[in-house]
Amino acid sequence: MSDATRVTAGRGTELRCGGWRQEGLLRMLENVVEVGERPEDLVVYAARARAARDWESFHALVAALRELREEETLVVQSGKPVGIFPSPAEAPIVVMACGNIVGHYATPENFDDLAARGLIMWGGLTAGDWQYIGFQGVLQGVYELLQAASREHFGGSLAGRLVLTAGLGGMGSAQPLAIRMSGARGIVVEVDEAKCARALRRGHLDSVTDSVDEALAASATGVVGLVGNAASVYRALAGNGVAPDVVTDLTAAHDALYGYCPEGLSLAEWSERRQLEPEAVAALARASMAEEVEAMLRFKAAGSVVFENGNNLRVQAEAAGVSQAFEVDGFAERYIRPLFCRGIGPFRWVALSGEEADLATLDHLARETAGREEVRSWIDLARQHVEVQGLPARSCWLGHGERSAFALAVNELVSAGRLAGPVLFTRDHFDAGGMTHPHIGTEGMADGSSAISDWPILDALLLSVSGADLVAVHAGGAGYAGYMQSAGVTIVADGTVAAARRLARSLDADTGLGVLRYADAGYAEARSVADSAGLGLRRSEATL
C-alpha cells in the first residue's frame, strides 16, 4: 500500500469539519479503510465489501464531509457522493443507499456487470456505511452463538469441547478468539497462510500447521490454525471418523467467485483463473462448498452440533446439487432469535478521540450500569482478550432501552469533560429490525414472513425522522444478491442536548421496531417485551 493511498483515522480533539457529527463520520470512513482487509483496494472485508466505490469517490466523500454544514444532508449512492441538500437541524447529515437493485434484476450476474461498469458497489453490512470496527465487530456474535449452543447441548460449558470451523478473513478472524473465550478447543481452517500467520501474531491461535494430524494433536490443548482448503479438510476429517463437538464455517462463501477458493487451486491460480474464466471458477467454488456441506452433514449424522454462521454456504451448496443442505441449521433461527425478540443485538461504541483511556472509561460505565450479568461478564472478557484495532471501540450486545440508557449516560460524560472526546454509536446490520435475510437473520420466521423486506426499509425511514446522524439502506450485491435488505445507523454523542435527543429517539426507535417485528410474527417473548415497554399502537400508561 503506497503512502498516497494510506489512510489512518483522525484522532484527538481538533476538528477538520464543521462539527463533531461530520467529524465523527469522517473518522469512521477513514477507520474502516485503516482496519480493512485490502485497504489499497478500499476492500474492508468479505472479499468485496468496500468503503467507497473507488478512490475518486473516497476523496470526494472526504471533501464533502469536511465542507458539510449543519442543516445540510449529504446523499451517497453506492459509495459515491452525489449531492448536498438543505435539511432541518436534526435531520441525518448523511443518507445512503448501497447495492440496491430492483427485485427481478437483483442477480449476481447483473450486480457484477453494474459493478464492473462502476455504477454500483457492495457495501457489505458495515463497510459501505463506515461502521466496521475490525474483527471485534462480530466477535461477541460468535461468542454468544457458542454460548447459546453450549447451554442447549453441553450443559452450559464448552470446556474441553472441540470446535471445527473455517475462515480467518475480516469477520472470520474473530473465530479463534471467540472459541478461546468460550473455554473450548478449536481447529480453524484457512486457505491463506498469511491470514493464519496474522492470527498467530495476534495471539488468537496457539499454533499453525498444514498437517491435519498435527492439527488434531495440537487441538487437544488449544486453538490451532490449519492451512488448507475447508472442503478438503472437512471431507478428510469426516472420512476418518473424527466427530468434533461443534462444526460451523465463516468463510466468505457468499461470494463464489472472490470469496471461496476452490479445491485444487493455489491462491495464485485462483486469482489468475477467476480473471480469465470467472464462470468456471465460480462453479468450481460451489462444487467445493458442496463437498464441505456434505461433510458437515456427515458430522451431524455422527452427533456433532452443526450450523451455518450466516455466510450463505448452504445456498451455494444447494445450487451445486446438495438437496439436503438446509438440514444444516441456520445459526440465527436456531440460537439467536430469543435475543432478537428482546431487541438484544450487536451494539457498538467508538471513542472518536482515539484515546484508549476513553474506552476504559466506557467499559467501566457499561459494566457498572448493566442490568444483566451477561453484559458484565462480556465486558470483563473483552477487557482481557480484545486488543484495540483502529479507533478504540467495543461491541456489546445490548437490548431495547439498554442502548439508549447507556448512550445518554455517555453523552453526559462527554458534556462533563470526563472523556477526551465525543463517542460514536452504531451497530451491525444483523440486528432485530435491521435486516431481512431469509437464510440468516429472518430464516424460518414463525408467520412465514422471512423474505419481507419492509422492516429494514421502515427502520431506515424511522431512524431518519428520529434524527440519527447517518442512515443507510443496503441490499445484497455479490453473492448475497436477491437475498438481503438491511438498514444501518450511526449517531454521535457530542455532549449536547441535541445529541441526547437524537440518541434517545433513534436508539429506542431502532430496537423498538425490531421487537415489534418479532411480536408481529407471533413470538410471545417479543410481545411481552413490547407490552412492558409500551411499544406498538397502544402505549402503556407509563409512557403517556
Concatenated DSSP letters for 450-519?
Answer: TT--HHHHHHHHHHHHHT-SEEEEEE--GGGTTT-EEEEEEEEE-SSHHHHHHHHHHHHHHHHHHHHHHH
Contact 277, 221 (CB under 8 A): no
Cell numbers for 185: 478447543
Q: Alpha-carbon distance 253 to 419, whole Å?
A: 41
Residues 6+ apart with CB under 8 A from 444: 330, 333, 450
Instruction: Check if 196 is active-site.
Output: no
* Residue 258 cell numbers, joined: 472472490
Cα dihedral 82/86/89/94 (nearest 10): 0
Q: Are 216 and 230 in contact (CB under 8 A)?
A: no
**SS3 state of residue 119:** coil
Query: What residues have CB less than 8 Å from 153, skipping those under 6 apart?
Result: 305
Residues 6 or more apart in contact with residue 331 via CB below 8 angstroms? 145, 248, 307, 308, 309, 310
The CA-to-CA distance between both ends of the chain, in Å, stands at 57
Whole-number CA gyration radius for the chain: 22
How many CB atoms are closer than 10 A to CB 160? 11
DSSP strand pairing (470-475 vs 485-493): antiparallel
Query: What whole-number distance in Å separates Cα of residue 408 and Cα of residue 412?
Result: 6
CB 121 within 8 A of CB 98: yes
3-state secondary structure of 185: strand
Helix axes 278-301, 267-276, angle to 10 degrees: 130
Q: Which residues pair with 426 in a beta bridge?
A: 348, 490
Angle, CA 239 vertex, CA 237 and CA 243 arms, to 5°: 50
Backbone angles phi, psi at 365, to 5 degrees: -60, -45
| Residue at 159: amino acid letter | A
CA 94 centroid distance within chain: 20
The span from the CA of 123 to the CA of 380, in Å, is 32
Q: Do 128 and 472 touch, CB atoms closer than 8 A? A: yes
Q: How far apart are CA 264 and CA 266, in angstroms?
A: 7
Q: Active-site positions?
A: 396
